[in-house]
Structure 1
């Protein structure tokens, strides 16, 4: 080829880069590279139709897949052929990287490397590579604790974007991650999609069990939301959990309802192929006592507390008229209480309420009744399968806040607590759980007085240091320097444990101490910060603060009939009395569900005090409502979004 021709090798190398150099090494060099670009007039003679004379047509044909009989090929043909080769090489390079990421994940090596590869391959131009990369991408996010990125990936993706061979494993990983973060509806979106794609023929027992575990934790409102526009198989599953919740403990009615369900949904698996928990639930008898003995403080200084619980129990018993309640004063001796229970021919006992009364009764050798104690269990007591413990545990709230902070990916929260026994107990529990889950301690402060509170805010926000620097600069400048105070930027949330009065002082202190240019600092509190008696001015001061509270004390629109009736009859009841009323109401509702929850711990009862499950050592654990002050009122947050 004449040297005056356009240097083809140089133009190809420039266009496609060194990535194709090994490929083009097999090609006979078509022209020498020139350091000097062709004259301006020359390119007119080099067109896409100008013939390029090749020295070895057979060799060129082998690489470019051209006709070996052709004595010459056009520049356009060569360019297209080289482009195809470069694309093939680039695709193979991406496949090799994908294989490397998968190998690293399998061997648990170099997690940062697998993350870098899979994160970049998500934008691959090749659809098949993007599909095959979805599983290692999610795995890499989770291994590297990139939880926000994992949530975003799952929120913006569909199961059809995952390679078919990976869909079951991807769904299991995604659903477990979302379930652990209490994002039940998001987890069910993936589980329903996999169930529909797999059908009965490809049903996976592990995935179906996880699907059922998520379903039985849904509240009635969440089930109703999911049922709207649900596809046929998802609707059948939702109908099945409705049956389980409605007829749990009623063996004959449950079996009949399940048979009816099978006839109405012939496309669903046979009952024998469903998760075992469903059929076990149908065959598990419930506590159905006709005569319930209730042991409460009905005299002395704590009489008001006992009467508040009693009131809730009586209200709940209207739902089960076949059950009679027999109230016994817990101030009596153990012998007198035993005699009263025997005399009334009691089938089931609820109470006592006070810890010391629980301790003196549960250890009696002749205590033979199945019992729901209204307080916590001593740590050294051996669990009895017929003894359960239901307390309005402050520790449950602290544990829930740790989970909430993890869901929101907070890394550096600050814990501030008033010096009272219950606040310090909650602070200690929060600290222990945070350290167990994250490996480091939470920065924490405590206070007694208003002045201590103000001082610690300036200390942990470091605004005092900022003010001191401004004053020092003013001193050296010889005049007042106008400068905004700056607060530290690394704190991402505050957990406050204080009473309502202390809380109303704290929030304005924070608002005026955080730099105007800094993002708002989220403040979280426990139910101990909530008061029904605060006026509109106080509510405005608390705007933006989030807290945990039992559903009974979070305003609902429209009001529950029970709530409206209660407010009409007992308008002056304080928070303590209302909490105990809700506790008494839930205690009665739990009696018929304890055996089912014992058999299947994932099962929740959504009561007035919270979402209740049976945890370790027969303790009832509570999940409270997350609510936020705003627009002059306290409003429950959407549990699905939890924001």
Structure 2
């Protein structure tokens, strides 16, 4: 894979070199024999050696050897050396400086120095006179947006580069593949919005739409591709037909009929296992699964292996507990099987993921990231976060803060409470209500007559995010209401799914008017198209705890995901609408959840749609 990448980059930058101007001061060697000896003496040298040799020379000879060193650095994929060589060429008047800047930007991008690479591209944007430079500039700029997981913005630049390339008959190697990769990350709605512009752009977008709609349907996809080729003759996307599309036609989904499910059937987690089992059995009604073998994940690794070898399932789901996932990873049967583990992957295993092992967890970090995206889309500058002073609360706020710093210069306020008694103290301190009260007391002491007063809270807090459970949220909300100054605009309140409880809401919605929160679609009223399933569930298990209801939905989704996994893993923009949210597969085969937004409104809960545009990294915002 690395050799393939390097050969591609050599082709890319060779094209860029072809557009460069010949240094005016470089003269050809007058003696052909001497020139041949010089070439022979340097042709086997690596980039570092050539660079050192160049520094020992003067004038045109130095530049000539630096060019050779630059080419060698590209061949080797030695990006730090490429950057250093280009910096040395910066001082030479005869060098095409725009071209050289593009080399530097490329080298820095490959090293992950996205901010400095983007700065270079921005600074030379008004110096682009050659079509070749303009095409490469747009391509590199788009690739930086792509590296920041912003495929929509990347495509804006890619398509400009593609148009320049077509109009000037340029060959920007790598551009077509990168366009295709970015298009595959878009939803059908986003593709529809891109279906405009030049013939090149429309051709690409329609190809992606056909690929997304007909993937897995061999006859229809083949027909759609033929129609596309007749309409867009000589389109640069034609290479996709024999390569990418042909391979995905044969991308058959998992055809599992015999399933082994590992879940806790003994010990303290037995009730969690029962909730999962109910979800799996309920999902069988509309699946092709014919047999299910339930295995206690609390058993020894040896006993679990014997059960798997005996039942010979087509697919494995579970275990639920992290420690048991580690335990069964050594199973020879699981090592050769496709599986969905019902928890997240450990960070140290992220680079050693089995291609057919998937990780499905009700991960609270997903909700934190979703809230953060909305806050940035709304333009909030100073959110305030409230969480219990526990390892989980500290971890989630730390995760929010780390992500926030990639997109904003401000620092969120964070408050941790240990119990209900110190909630008021934490809130009044964060909102600086205590300072307002101190000022009022001081003013009153100066006058004998009665002084009318009202406390004021700080005005820079523009959103409050609660990461407490249902009981804590019902305590915090009234405190926030009375401590926010009446002179200030109402601060929107948000919470995670921990704040919501179907059981508590039956008897006490409290004073939660206006509160927004993320939640599994399964837990919200009138959200999922599963009315019959919800009615049956409520009739069979009317008193189930919230965690058991969520695990039921998780198990139901896990079984229904099996035939969808391969397409989800191949098409980044593809989603599966499940009981636990809109599911997609991200890096390291992790199944990511996008939850629904609910809001307390007039003593009931309504479904709301909030702005969740992907944020632009801080270093790219200044020129957007």
The two structures share one fold, judged by TM-score above 0.5: yes
Q: Does 1:511 align with 2:481?
A: yes
The separation in 2 between residues aligned to 1:402 and 1:372, in whole angstroms, is 28
The separation in 2 between residues aligned to 1:176 and 1:556, in whole angstroms, is 41
Q: 1:552-602: CA deviations, max 9, x gaps? A: 223335843455444554462332122111211221233233333444444
The change in CA–CA distance for 1:551 and 1:477 in structure 2 (over 3 A counts) is same
Q: Does 1:633 align with 2:599?
A: no
1:376 pairs, out of 344, 350, 362, with 344
The CA deviation at 1:379 is 3.2
The CA deviation at 1:518 is 1.0
**Segment drifting more, 433-442 vs 496-505:** 433-442
1:464 pairs, out of 429, 434, 440, with 434
Q: 1:575-632: CA deviations, max 9, x gaps? A: 2122111211221233233333444444433322223333333322222223333343
Q: Does 1:329 align with 2:299?
A: no
Q: 1:82-114: CA deviations, max 9, x gaps? A: xxxxxxxxxxxxxxxxxxxxx99x989xxxxxx
**Segment drifting more, 459-468 vs 591-600:** 591-600
The change in CA–CA distance for 1:211 and 1:322 in structure 2 (over 3 A counts) is same
Quote the residue 1:347 is aligned against: 314
**Segment drifting more, 497-506 vs 604-613:** 604-613
Q: 1:445-472: CA deviations, max 9, x gaps? A: 1112222111111111111211221222
The separation in 1 between residues aligned to 2:162 and 2:279, in whole angstroms, is 44
The change in CA–CA distance for 1:323 and 1:633 in structure 2 (over 3 A counts) is same
The change in CA–CA distance for 1:391 and 1:196 in structure 2 (over 3 A counts) is same
Quote the residue 1:606 is aligned against: 577
The separation in 2 between residues aligned to 1:322 and 1:640, in whole angstroms, is 37
8 Å CA contact 1:289, 1:348 repeated in 2: yes
The change in CA–CA distance for 1:285 and 1:535 in structure 2 (over 3 A counts) is closer
8 Å CA contact 2:264, 2:320 repeated in 1: yes
The separation in 1 between residues aligned to 2:154 and 2:524, in whole angstroms, is 27
1:267 pairs, out of 221, 231, 243, with 231
8 Å CA contact 2:382, 2:410 repeated in 1: no
Quote the residue 2:61 is aligned against: none
The separation in 1 between residues aligned to 2:537 and 2:183, in whole angstroms, is 35
Q: Does 1:399 align with 2:369?
A: yes
TM-score (norm 2): 0.64
**Segment drifting more, 614-623 vs 478-487:** 614-623
8 Å CA contact 1:215, 1:238 repeated in 2: no
SS at match of 2:446: helix
Quote the residue 2:326 is aligned against: 359
The separation in 1 between residues aligned to 2:508 and 2:151, in whole angstroms, is 32
**Segment drifting more, 370-379 vs 491-500:** 370-379
8 Å CA contact 2:162, 2:175 repeated in 1: no
The separation in 2 between residues aligned to 1:508 and 1:178, in whole angstroms, is 44
1:549 pairs, out of 488, 503, 519, with 519
The separation in 1 between residues aligned to 2:353 and 2:239, in whole angstroms, is 33
SS at match of 1:293: strand
8 Å CA contact 1:548, 1:625 repeated in 2: yes
TM-score (norm 1): 0.63
SS at match of 2:293: strand
Quote the residue 2:258 is aligned against: 291
* Runs of 5+ consecutive residues of structure 1 not aligned to the other structure: 1-102, 109-138, 145-164
The CA deviation at 1:511 is 1.6
The change in CA–CA distance for 1:224 and 1:508 in structure 2 (over 3 A counts) is farther
1:524 pairs, out of 486, 494, 509, with 494
The change in CA–CA distance for 1:481 and 1:169 in structure 2 (over 3 A counts) is farther
What RMSD, in angstroms, separates the aligned Cα atoms of the two structures? 4.6
Quote the residue 2:591 is aligned against: 620
The CA deviation at 1:503 is 0.6
1:317 pairs, out of 272, 284, 301, with 284
- Higher-Rg structure is 1
8 Å CA contact 1:172, 1:207 repeated in 2: no
The separation in 2 between residues aligned to 1:558 and 1:579, in whole angstroms, is 14
The change in CA–CA distance for 1:640 and 1:366 in structure 2 (over 3 A counts) is closer
**Segment drifting more, 334-343 vs 262-271:** 262-271
The change in CA–CA distance for 1:386 and 1:206 in structure 2 (over 3 A counts) is same
The change in CA–CA distance for 1:487 and 1:207 in structure 2 (over 3 A counts) is farther
* Runs of 5+ consecutive residues of structure 2 not aligned to the other structure: 1-96, 103-117, 124-132, 616-624
1:338 pairs, out of 300, 305, 310, with 305
Q: Does 1:495 align with 2:459?
A: no
